[in-house]
């Protein structure tokens, strides 16, 4: 022990000084050496277990626990006060000591009560114990349960729980171990001391309140049957972390904070560093409100400790780095202050002292010269915390401006009165008043409780104002009212809209610009989360980052829950489409970039689905195996994208043209699992599951519609072909139009080696010499057949995609040129997109530069027009006189090349 540390430690803590005077042996031997060493995992548990090992009855157990507790508390305090331990070490040591005392006591008591050990009782630690953030003289918040497989009844576990509480909490001549608080258990102080796991689950599902969700964030199984406790907490996760964005958390935590503030004022606790202004509780609230709102969708936020939560909030973009750093510094300062206050006399307090000597002791223990310097630093930290707290928990915006007629309009509609004159003054037509009245009588609105009705009344005047300012008041109002009716059953969505002006403004903008997108949001309200970010209309997703984003999303999903995986993929895909479309509507991306991003999204999604479905099948049946000579090798699957997917030219809502192939080499080959399948059956099931995963409609919608008609033999062909069979078909049986389709075909998922083999086959087929007259005839005939199949009546207008002189004609022209020239210029087929092919054709002097530039410009224009038409909900048909000049130009090039 270093004598130089004596004065600082003894001056700061009467508890340490008195303990060492009472037990001078603590100065000597192994314990003294432990002072200079950071704790190691398991050491505290071993120390406590050794201390109680020889006890024969409860009285002896009580004494042994209290003595080891005092010894370890002196050690922890000494290291902290001497500056040898960082805050996290001190908090973790205190928590580990509590865990060890609870577990050791429980094991002894269960054995003495005729049990087989502590294994059948579950002890959950809440609050700071659960988060491993226990302060020096803290109570410990516990909840007892007994596991599903426990054979004993309620009475046994109640007696065991009572004995455990006495062993920890009861004062004796040796003091106490930890004060135990059981008020967080179901039904509080009036509830049973112990409940079965099933009963606790039922309680939270039936009676759980918002503050209990808040409490469960930090809950941890600390002793007894820890595995059963962690299973219980996993089962309760949907109660704590909702799958949708729960902005009711703002209101709930505001109410909780208001109650605390009233109590602080009533008791004069303004100098309470835990509950007072800018105190520890406000830092915790800042982190936990984001956890309650977003933790159901973002696993990274399901941390128990607040410092880890702050780091996750920065990583997720919810707090600025400097804000989180300031909160973390404030947390460290406040928690060190809290511990120094409590280490003085081993007394639970959070109040700053009044006496000058006590103030000086605290200031010096915090390494300040005097109270004034310490207090100034404390106030600076508290001011920082309060500033961020007020920013995060700012009350919702006012319902509407003072000059607005919107509040009166809504109140009139809600009461059934005539609001036509006021609505007309705001720019609405005759249908608006009826639409508002219809909303008030809709069943979801009628079913709202008091909280939901209050939220709706806060929101509706602002919604009416947003519609009036949109430029399309009637259409926007009707669209927004459909959305409100759709989400009203979950007041969390009303809370989101009431709490976030950005969301309401962005929804109005979407309703004005893209009924298709607003319909997507109405069907999937979770997408409103994307509209919180004020940058949503300016920043499109990075195509290269989409796969990594999706992988992060899937990491937070239970791999045994296929339904959850399907929903997570759909929500991610829809959110990404929304972000792409919002940037498109703002003019920040051009049409080819939109298509590239939509294609990258589809590719990331298909890869994820292929991996998930393949792993699930392999777990059950093993891996498909080829017998090659005297050795076994795995067989593989590859997914080939055709059409707009293969060409990197997807539009909003496009189907995916897919072809599946495998490299299993014949009949009789099987998987290597406990339930083997023929390889062909395995690959057929795998392909079918990929298709089903993508195209099945769930509560979260559909990922993509899948079109398999481009596979060998079309709709009559097998779902998945062997590579050899596919190659044979392409070489011997495929029609010219199937080779046309191969021009844009591209492997997008599966085994890299098989994908490479497909690329080689594509090169071989496309680089064949062809008879030019026959090629012209076949392509022109196929186009004429398509025109008949997709004919649009003249009076209906011009179909930008299928009409004569439209997108498809340009694609056919490009495919003709590629097939005609690739045998001499194989570099042509290195591209898969129409604009890329035109560049290559120009580079090889195969198409006049002016012709290629003209067609490229027209193609971009058509692509952008079709994308915008989809967003506006109009399909691909425009007025007959639109694009007339472009159509004539394409027709002219068609005649020159193919007629």
Determine how many CB atoms are found less than 10 A away from the CB of residue 751.
18
Three-point CA angle 648, 654, 657, nearest 5°: 70
Q: Which residue has the higher pLDDT, 743 or 539?
A: 743
User: For 203-244, how does the pLDDT look when each residue is reduced to its tens digit (9 = 90+)?
Assistant: 998 888 888 988 999 999 999 999 999 999 999 988 888 776
- Rounded to an integer, what distance in angstroms lies between the CA atom of residue 363 and that of residue 372? 8
Across the chain, mean pLDDT equals: 88
Q: What is the mean pLDDT of residues 321-325?
A: 94
Angle, nearest 10°, between helix axes 807-821 and 772-789? Answer: 160
- How far CA 400 is from CA of 182, 396, 458, 498, 657, in Å, comes to 46, 11, 9, 12, 49
258: Cα separation from own chain's centroid: 30
pLDDT band at 96 (very low <50, low <70, confident <90, very high): very high
- How far CA 271 is from CA of 118, 263, 276, 852, 889, in Å, comes to 42, 13, 6, 76, 80
Q: Which 3 state secondary structure label does DSSP give 304?
A: coil
Report the candidate in 897, 860, 888 with the shortest Cα–Cα distance to residue 804: 888
183-187, 499-503, 844-848: segment of lowest average pLDDT? 499-503
Q: What are the start-end ranges of the E strands in 766-855?
A: 798-799
pLDDT of residue 1 exceeding 80: no
At 115 the pLDDT is: 65
Contact 250, 393 (CB under 8 A): yes
User: Residue 75: in which H helix or E strand, if any?
Assistant: helix 58-81
- Rounded to an integer, what distance in angstroms lies between the CA atom of residue 32 and that of residue 784? 94
Q: What is the mean pLDDT of residues 379-403?
A: 76
Residue 864 has which token pair? 């952008």
At 534 the pLDDT is: 67
Residue 265 has which token pair? 């004022």
Tell me the DSSP string of 500-563: -HHHHHHHHHHHHH-HHHHHHHHH-GGGGGGGGSTTTTT-PPPGGGHHHHHHHHHHTS-TT-HH
Report the candidate in 128, 226, 113 with the shortest Cα–Cα distance to residue 179: 128
Burial letters for 367-393: b for 16+ Cβ neighbours within 10 Å, e otherwise? ebeebeebbeebeebbebbbebbeebb
Residue 525 has which token pair? 């309200």
CA quadruple 5, 11, 12, 18: dihedral sign = positive
pLDDT band at 32 (very low <50, low <70, confident <90, very high): low
Where do we find the tokens 């054979």? 151
Q: Give 156's contacts (C-beta < 8 A, 6+ positions apart).
A: 113, 115
264-268, 270-274, 701-705, 822-826: segment of lowest average pLDDT? 264-268
Pairing relationship of beta strands 706-707 and 877-878 according to DSSP bridges: unpaired
pLDDT of residue 810 exceeding 90: yes
pLDDT band at 27 (very low <50, low <70, confident <90, very high): low
Residue 426 has which token pair? 């705001």
pLDDT of residue 420 exceeding 70: no
250: Cα separation from own chain's centroid: 19
pLDDT of residue 269 exceeding 80: no
Tell me the DSSP string of 462-474: HHHHHHHTTS-HH
Determine how many CB atoms are found less than 10 A away from the CB of residue 21.
10
Q: Which 3 state secondary structure label does DSSP give 125?
A: strand
At 728 the pLDDT is: 94
Percent of the chain with pLDDT over 70: 93
Percent of the chain with pLDDT over 90: 56
721: Cα separation from own chain's centroid: 37
User: For 599-653, how does the pLDDT look when each residue is reduced to its tens digit (9 = 90+)?
Assistant: 999 999 999 999 999 999 999 999 998 877 677 888 999 999 999 999 999 999 8
Q: Which 3 state secondary structure label does DSSP give 877?
A: strand
């Amino acid at each position: 022990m270093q004598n130089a540390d004596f004065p600082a430690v003894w001056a700061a803590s009467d508890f340490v000084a008195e303990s060492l005077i009472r037990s001078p042996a603590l100065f000597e031997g192994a314990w003294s050496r432990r002072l200079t060493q950071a704790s190691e995992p398991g050491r505290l548990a071993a120390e406590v277990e050794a201390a109680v090992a020889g006890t024969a009855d409860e009285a002896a157990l009580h004494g042994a626990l209290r003595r080891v507790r005092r010894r370890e508390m002196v050690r922890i305090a000494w290291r902290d006060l001497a500056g040898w331990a960082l805050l996290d070490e001190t908090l973790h040591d205190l928590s580990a000591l509590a865990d060890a005392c609870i577990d050791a006591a429980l094991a002894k008591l269960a054995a003495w009560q005729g049990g087989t050990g502590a294994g059948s009782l579950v002890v959950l630690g809440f609050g700071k114990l659960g988060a491993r953030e226990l302060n020096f003289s803290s109570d410990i918040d516990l909840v007892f349960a007994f596991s599903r497989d426990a054979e004993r009844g309620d009475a046994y576990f109640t007696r065991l729980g009572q004995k455990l509480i006495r062993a920890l909490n009861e004062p004796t001549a040796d003091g106490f171990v930890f004060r135990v608080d059981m008020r967080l258990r179901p039904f509080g102080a009036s509830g049973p001391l112990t409940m079965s796991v099933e009963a606790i689950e039922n309680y939270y599902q039936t009676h759980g309140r918002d503050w209990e969700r808040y409490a469960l964030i930090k809950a941890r199984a600390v002793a007894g049957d820890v595995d059963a406790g962690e299973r219980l907490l996993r089962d309760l996760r949907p109660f704590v972390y909702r799958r949708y964005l729960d902005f009711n958390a703002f209101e709930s935590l505001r109410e909780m904070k208001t109650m605390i503030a009233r109590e602080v004022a009533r008791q004069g606790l303004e100098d309470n560093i835990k509950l007072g202004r800018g105190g520890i509780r406000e830092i915790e609230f800042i982190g936990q409100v984001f956890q309650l709102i977003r933790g159901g969708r973002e696993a990274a936020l399901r941390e128990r400790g607040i410092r880890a939560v702050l780091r996750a909030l920065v990583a997720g973009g919810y707090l600025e780095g400097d804000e989180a750093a300031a909160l973390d510094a404030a947390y460290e300062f406040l928690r060190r202050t809290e511990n120094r206050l409590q280490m003085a006399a081993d007394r639970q307090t959070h109040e700053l002292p009044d006496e000058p000597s006590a103030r000086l002791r605290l200031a010096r223990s915090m390494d300040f010269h005097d109270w004034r310097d310490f207090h100034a630093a404390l106030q600076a930290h508290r001011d920082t915390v309060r500033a961020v707290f007020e920013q995060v928990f700012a009350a919702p915006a006012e319902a509407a401006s003072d000059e607005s007629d919107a509040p009166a309009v809504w109140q009139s509609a809600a009461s059934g009165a005539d609001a036509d004159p006021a609505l007309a003054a705001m720019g609405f037509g005759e249908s608006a008043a009826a639409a508002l009245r219809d909303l008030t009588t809709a069943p979801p609105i009628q079913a709202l409780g008091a909280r939901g009705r209050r939220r709706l009344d806060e929101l509706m005047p602002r919604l009416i104002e947003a519609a009036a300012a949109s430029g399309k008041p009637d259409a926007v109002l009707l669209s927004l009212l459909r959305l409100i009716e759709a989400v009203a059953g979950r007041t969390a969505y009303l809370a989101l809209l009431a709490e976030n002006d950005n969301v309401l403004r962005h929804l109005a903008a979407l309703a004005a610009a893209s009924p298709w997108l607003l319909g997507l949001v109405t069907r999937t309200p979770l997408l409103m989360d994307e509209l919180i970010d004020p940058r949503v209309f300016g920043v499109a997703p990075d195509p290269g980052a989409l796969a990594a984003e999706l992988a992060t999303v899937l990491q937070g999903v239970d791999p045994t829950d296929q339904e959850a995986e399907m929903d997570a993929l759909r929500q991610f895909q829809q959110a990404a489409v929304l972000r792409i479309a919002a940037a498109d509507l703002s003019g920040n991306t051009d049409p080819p970039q939109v298509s590239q991003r939509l294609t990258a999204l589809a590719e990331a999604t298909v890869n994820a689905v292929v991996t998930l479905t393949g792993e699930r099948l392999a777990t059950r049946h093993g891996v498909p195996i080829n017998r090659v000579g005297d050795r076994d090798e795995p067989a593989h699957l590859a997914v080939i994208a055709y059409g707009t997917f293969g060409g990197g030219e997807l539009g909003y809502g496009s189907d995916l043209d897919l072809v599946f192939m495998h490299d299993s080499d014949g009949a009789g080959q099987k998987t290597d699992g406990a339930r083997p399948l023929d390889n062909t059956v395995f690959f057929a099931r795998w392909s079918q599951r990929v298709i089903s995963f993508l195209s099945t409609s769930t509560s979260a919608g559909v990922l993509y519609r899948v079109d398999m008609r481009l596979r060998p033999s079309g709709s009559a062909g097998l779902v998945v072909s062997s590579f050899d069979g596919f190659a044979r078909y392409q070489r011997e049986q495929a029609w010219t139009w199937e080779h046309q389709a191969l021009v844009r075909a591209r492997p997008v998922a599966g085994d890299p080696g098989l994908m490479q083999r497909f690329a080689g086959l594509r090169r071989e087929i496309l680089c064949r010499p062809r008879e030019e007259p026959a090629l012209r005839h076949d392509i022109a005939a196929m186009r004429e057949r398509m025109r008949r199949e997709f004919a649009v009546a003249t009076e209906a207008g011009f179909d930008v995609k299928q009409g004569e002189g439209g997108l498809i004609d340009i694609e056919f022209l490009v495919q003709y040129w590629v097939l005609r020239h690739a045998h001499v210029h194989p570099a042509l087929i290195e591209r898969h997109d129409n604009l890329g092919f035109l560049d290559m054709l120009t580079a090889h002097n195969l198409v006049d530069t002016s012709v290629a530039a003209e067609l490229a410009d027209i193609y971009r224009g058509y692509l952008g027009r079709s994308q915008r038409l989809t967003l506006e909900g109009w399909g691909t048909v425009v007025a007959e006189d639109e694009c007339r000049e472009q159509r004539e130009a394409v027709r002219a090039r068609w005649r020159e090349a193919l007629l």
